[in-house]
Structure 1
């Protein structure tokens, strides 16, 4: 380590000055919440002024020190000036403009000073100026070192294009730095950070020597771009090398395990960390917790959570997310309520849990609590809210979310959020509004097309669904199983037998999609709705897999439409074997028998239902009045205005009877 010996001034008043400055500095620290400036240097500093500079805590104090350095001519030396420059450019409480003024004092700044300015302007969010210093170095022939390229590449990460970074790569090759490990790691990070994984892999493969930074950077590059197989493959190669993974490596690998659901590799990492008594930070424990949750191992996640000495909001949110996704909303809510300092992610996880588990009203209630708590909802919370609005047909609220957050520019729009808006409008019956959003989308993915086709299908617009499908194929999108469920549903609702049969037959032949239970159910529904009950029954008996509830349910509904009691009884028997507690099956079968005046069969069905202890789920409806939603159950009187409501209903009933009687008189008279 180099040692710099700077003589202390001999005058007594200078000594008093240092004592005064020390006292002033201590007072500043006692009142300031800013941390000390912990700059790095390989030089042992003994000069009192420079020692004070190393623990400077404000620009005001820095200027006092600079004034003293000017009076004592200390500022004319390269090292003291470089320390002033580093504080101004790199400290969190520095001033890059003042750093620029200091930089201009020197006619021939050295490489360290140039590097400091490149790094400083990049830190101050001025990448263009940062990169311009690199270009000036190149034009003026200033000697580069490895850090010059690393700092220049960091500045290039802020540019929308990659041309500047590629130009740095060219300079690296041209002047002979291509084999320097620090520079190669900088290039690797630049390409991986931008998602240019092919270029990153080329740089990685060309490296004859690799350290832990090299391996971690390439593994994290693939993991952060949702390429878990490549990330885990590289980790396996790393284990066969002579480089030991560190904590950051493990966090990147655990992210890949979470994406792929590879709990085996995740457990391997956990066991290695504990076996080697490796220092396990909160970040690593949270990564392990997240891996167990996303791999569906809640028991292991809970064990790890309980053993964690320190937890943060991420730890609690992982547990909320895990229990919510597996449908255990009670446990999820317990963890949510226990979270001390909830952030937007925590709120969003619980809101999504309710929405995804068919609890839309709870989701809406929690959303209102979130907004009341002063939280600004992000994309994930709004997507869940739009889904809840779709489930409840809350068009006004869904439209308000669209207008306030999206059209009001309070949240940046992306394809995921636009897809949720389309789905909400379609489920609320406002298919034209959905089509309008779809038509103005700057970017669409397969989910966008599927949402639009499903929307058309659900709203009885079969021809438009087919047209959207044709446009999707022309645009180069490859359909998936969900696409064909929506398409076959559209054909079923539109009575398009030949088209539906054609799509069903070409699924596997043209697109490599093997029909699943839901596709067979759609075809059975299509055949049944159009009266082809025998063909529907033949298809259900020839399915290559066990028929599901949807298939038998579609056939039972078709029997109701066309009055086939024999086939209805058979369908209901199969349905009850799959779900004996579903009261709707009994009710539907009883109604079919009643329509055909088979009162003995009706009695038998009701007796069977009574004997098994199955109770009919009461019908209910929702109504919105001035933004408030009220739920009404059959024959219930809990509503505060129930007396007035039933009075109006009685009047409507009497008026309808009078209307029917008038119609009867008119028919008799005309007859």
Structure 2
């Protein structure tokens, strides 16, 4: 800019500043160059007495590039108002401005000017219209412009295909792609094929993806790196990692996107070891690569590895984004590490190093609730300026999980009063709250209201909540009747709730039936055998108890050891039965002995029935 200003000074002294062509080059540098200055460009523009179309367009485009969307659109309006000559590029830049501010009404106004000046048959302008309608989510308007276009080039078709894919209407995107091939108007290029493969990834249709892959070879489409990356990504997202690997292996050039697609594919399929091998071998990484691996660990219940990788990412100077923090907060929730989760949130979100969002807020509420700090979750919930349904659901489920039924139901009523429509997850929280609170009548009404009032068909998890509710209060006959009337096959959660209720209330016969149903679904779940054994032990049916032990030995099932955990100074410590691995174990056991002695002095009698599986005669 310092050099440009010297040139500008020379042009001013010599009078060249009044000549259209040299001043347009001066303006172009200021408005469009990466080292330019859009404000200086505006000062130059304001001194030009009769700017031509190119100069107007340059200024509009400059504001567009520098993200001053409102100024870009305002300058176009001024151009129309002052009767300046417009060309196709004027309208294209104006339409791009509307894309930025999602102003559908402004698009309509520009379209009126387009028609009035006779530009409506220009393919470039119609493509601009299709593009801005697609970007603003107005697919019906985009399709109208597309269908009425006298000429459609490869950009028209590709924009429409990609638009349907990006907005979740993959099937329609494929129909447009097939229509393009049948019309014979224009041959697809590499960008069209990328759009078609993206659609296949969205809908997860491997057969159509393979068909598109075949067309690439048949149509002699130029095979670019982006196209090969789209192929790898499509096969990975459709679960066909063997083919994705074959395409990956034959690629002469790979970039970060190529490697990340493979990492993401293997991580989502659950093969975290192979995903990590790709991650460790990739020559360079970006934040998307780190996110894919961290998300894989977090979503597959390996939160410790997720946190370790996050700290490693911080160590190499990579800055997290919203998606990273959502996965890390989820990992903290799984580990019960509230202090670590709060520290990470305060480090990045409070000082706005990562912009706060509803999604991040929801993750923080969920983490607080799952770590046992429902009060902190409530404080954060009340401080949020904006909330969505997930926010309300997280708080309702949090209250329910901690037995605060009244607060959960009170929040549900507030949700309804705010005009928000609940979904199936909301009712999992509501019914769970009723179950923990023993609110049978309210639970029955809410269960009926799901379909009757809100049009939501109860799912298996809602039936499981109701069975648990009825079972807890001893209505075992009604619970069994409900499980028999389920429109879907009862799952482990439903039969497990019934078995636990039978153990609580000593109904051995019904409990035996429930356990057999559970074992037919999963014969290697140690929890089923423990529940059944404890039920037999409480009734002193020792022969049946020995049978359970024998079944466990035959199947090779071992009781999963239970443990307690506590977070101290941001570190989660686990304690198993008779565990003396902690260096302070002797001090801990002495303290427990003292506490137990004080309890006995107060008249406490411990319930040892849960240990009868291993200590019965």
TM range (shorter): 0.7 to 0.9
Q: Which of residues 496, 507, 529 is equivalent to 1:564? A: 507
d(CA) in 2 for partners of 1:558 and 1:601? 19
- Partner of 2:575: helix, strand, or coil? strand
Residue in structure 2 matched with residue 334 of structure 1 by the alignment: 277
Residue in structure 2 matched with residue 634 of structure 1 by the alignment: 577
Is this contact kept in 2: 1:59–1:93, CA < 8 A?
no
Is this contact kept in 1: 2:189–2:222, CA < 8 A?
no
Residue in structure 1 matched with residue 167 of structure 2 by the alignment: 225
Residue in structure 1 matched with residue 300 of structure 2 by the alignment: 357
d(CA) in 2 for partners of 1:125 and 1:509? 49
- Deviation at residue 386 of structure 1 after TM alignment: 2.0
d(CA) in 2 for partners of 1:322 and 1:483? 31
Q: Which of residues 136, 158, 167 is equivalent to 1:216? A: 158
CA distance change for structure 1 residues 269 and 572 in 2, over 3 Å: closer, same or farther? same
d(CA) in 1 for partners of 2:203 and 2:605? 69
- Partner of 2:535: helix, strand, or coil? helix
d(CA) in 2 for partners of 1:588 and 1:244? 65
Is this contact kept in 2: 1:59–1:94, CA < 8 A?
no
2:115 matches 1:173: yes
How many residue pairs are counted as aligned between the two chains?
Answer: 605
- Deviation at residue 154 of structure 1 after TM alignment: 3.0
Q: Which of residues 576, 592, 617 is equivalent to 2:560? A: 617
Aligned alpha-carbon RMSD (Å): 3.2
d(CA) in 2 for partners of 1:139 and 1:513? 53
Residue in structure 2 matched with residue 142 of structure 1 by the alignment: 84
Residue in structure 1 matched with residue 317 of structure 2 by the alignment: 374
Is this contact kept in 1: 2:193–2:216, CA < 8 A?
no
- Deviation at residue 352 of structure 1 after TM alignment: 1.6
Q: Which of residues 194, 209, 216 is equivalent to 1:266? A: 209
Is this contact kept in 1: 2:336–2:567, CA < 8 A?
no
Q: Which of residues 295, 319, 342 is equivalent to 2:238? A: 295
- Deviation at residue 354 of structure 1 after TM alignment: 1.6
**Bigger Cα Rg:** 1
Q: Which of residues 246, 255, 273 is equivalent to 2:189? A: 246
d(CA) in 1 for partners of 2:331 and 2:48? 64
2:99 matches 1:193: no
Residue in structure 2 matched with residue 503 of structure 1 by the alignment: 446
- Partner of 1:112: helix, strand, or coil? helix
d(CA) in 2 for partners of 1:125 and 1:478? 36
Residue in structure 1 matched with residue 248 of structure 2 by the alignment: 305
| Cα offsets for 1:54-99 (capped at 9, x unmatched) | xxxx97389569959997x988875555455544543334455665
| Cα offsets for 1:15-64 (capped at 9, x unmatched) | xxxxxxxxxxxxxxxxxxxxxxxxxxxxxxxxxxxxxxxxxxx9738956
Residue in structure 1 matched with residue 412 of structure 2 by the alignment: 469
Name the TM-score, length of structure 2 as normaliser: 0.88
- Partner of 1:407: helix, strand, or coil? coil
CA distance change for structure 1 residues 151 and 586 in 2, over 3 Å: closer, same or farther? closer
Residue in structure 1 matched with residue 145 of structure 2 by the alignment: 203
Q: Which piece of structure 1 moves more, 268-277 or 430-439? A: 430-439
CA distance change for structure 1 residues 588 and 131 in 2, over 3 Å: closer, same or farther? closer
Q: Which of residues 44, 47, 61 is equivalent to 1:119? A: 61
d(CA) in 2 for partners of 1:335 and 1:341? 11
Q: Which runs of 5+ in 2 are unaligned?
A: 607-617
Q: Which of residues 542, 549, 559 is equivalent to 1:599? A: 542
Query: Relative CO higher for 1 or 2, CA cutoff 8 Å, sep ≥ 6?
Result: 2
Residue in structure 1 matched with residue 229 of structure 2 by the alignment: 286
Q: Which of residues 311, 326, 329 is equivalent to 1:383? A: 326
| Cα offsets for 1:630-654 (capped at 9, x unmatched) | 2222223332333443444444445
| Cα offsets for 1:148-188 (capped at 9, x unmatched) | 22233334444474555444333222222222222222233
Is this contact kept in 1: 2:435–2:472, CA < 8 A?
yes
Q: Which of residues 385, 391, 398 is equivalent to 1:448? A: 391
d(CA) in 2 for partners of 1:523 and 1:340? 53
- Deviation at residue 466 of structure 1 after TM alignment: 3.1
Q: Which runs of 5+ in 1 are unaligned?
A: 1-57, 664-671
CA distance change for structure 1 residues 126 and 527 in 2, over 3 Å: closer, same or farther? closer
| Cα offsets for 1:364-422 (capped at 9, x unmatched) | 22222222222222111211222222223222223334434333333222222222222
- Partner of 1:240: helix, strand, or coil? helix
- Partner of 2:349: helix, strand, or coil? helix
2:471 matches 1:516: no
2:428 matches 1:485: yes
Name the TM-score, length of structure 1 as normaliser: 0.81
d(CA) in 2 for partners of 1:64 and 1:185? 39
- Deviation at residue 103 of structure 1 after TM alignment: 5.7
Residue in structure 2 matched with residue 41 of structure 1 by the alignment: none
